[in-house]
Chain A
């Protein structure tokens, strides 16, 4: 599943929104008012190894390798971000200049098993 839910401990995306007012940074960050600091969490048992949370062609390839080579649970498959997007930030720097920039790969959109 893409987003974590109560009834599964499989690899998924945990959503969390940080509001810059809550951390006292809204005086120097003009836009946005906060951002999603999502993260990946959950188990990656072998039968889902390589399932990137979205397409499953990569999963099939990995699964066939596991079967063909009779790999035991020695190797570990990890729950990692498989798609991220940029965050556009408008902020004051220490000289009171206004800076606008896009921070690449800042927000986790999807998780999957390596």
Chain B
């Protein structure tokens, strides 16, 4: 303000700019971001609204002692990028940013899929969800079964599959790319026909986590 020419509104303008810069710095620091995110691709508003409804539906209630805990609560929604795998499998890839020294503990994790189960389904049809290993492990390589469910003729629409305990191994590791593989068993049609992974019905993951910040006790001390 001192550098500004003698005019009242300049001082106010200088204060505003100073406070806006302070707000930017404070937000990035508290969100542990080096710079503001540049979105890789825009997410359709309908998909955001739908996912937020699921997040609020299962919202974690803050416990009485949450404020004292040295862990911070996070809720994250990640939209899947479909990945071609084998003829009978559908790969879903999720990308996460990791801050090395954060200790992440998953409380809940659900995969939301839009299913189209044939109405005239008579035989049994099972959907299985696997956690694939690292790069290129989608084609039946080292995989972990996360969830298996028999589908009924009335099973069409948005359906949630709980993946919590097994995903902890992924979030406890270093990898940033989560790969899931979906497989259908039974003659009710192949997985591509059953799971609608188009942009308008993009599968998404909803997870709730507690993150212990590094050196938090130092800040407390």
Contact = CB atoms under 8 A, between A and B. Distances in A.
Interface in A87-114: 89-104, 106
Interface string A1-35: 00000000000000010100011010111100001
B11 to A, nearest CB: 14
A92 B33 CA distance: 12
A102 B73 CA distance: 7
A93 B39 CA distance: 7
Interface of B: 19-20, 22-24, 26-27, 30-31, 33, 36-43, 48, 51-52, 55, 62, 67, 72-79, 94-97
Contacts of A98: 43, 48, 51-52, 55, 76-78
B83 to A, nearest CB: 15
A94 B151 CA distance: 35
A101 B47 CA distance: 20
A95 B96 contact: yes
Contact of A101 (B37, B72, B79): B72
Contacts of B42: 96
Contact of A99 (B24, B40, B67, B74): B74
Contact of A37 (B26, B39, B79): B26
A97 B96 contact: yes
Contacts of A102: 62, 72-73
B72 A104 contact: yes
Contact of A18 (B20, B55, B72): B20
A97 B33 CA distance: 14
B37 A100 contact: no
B137 to A, nearest CB: 20
A101 B74 CA distance: 5
B37 A92 contact: yes
Looking at B23, B31, B41, B67, the one whose CB has the most chain A CB atoms below 10 A away is: B23
B39 A25 contact: no
B73 A23 contact: no
B20 A93 contact: no
Given A97-B96, A98-B51, A100-B74, A92 B20 contact: no
Given A98-B51, A98-B52, A91 B31 contact: yes
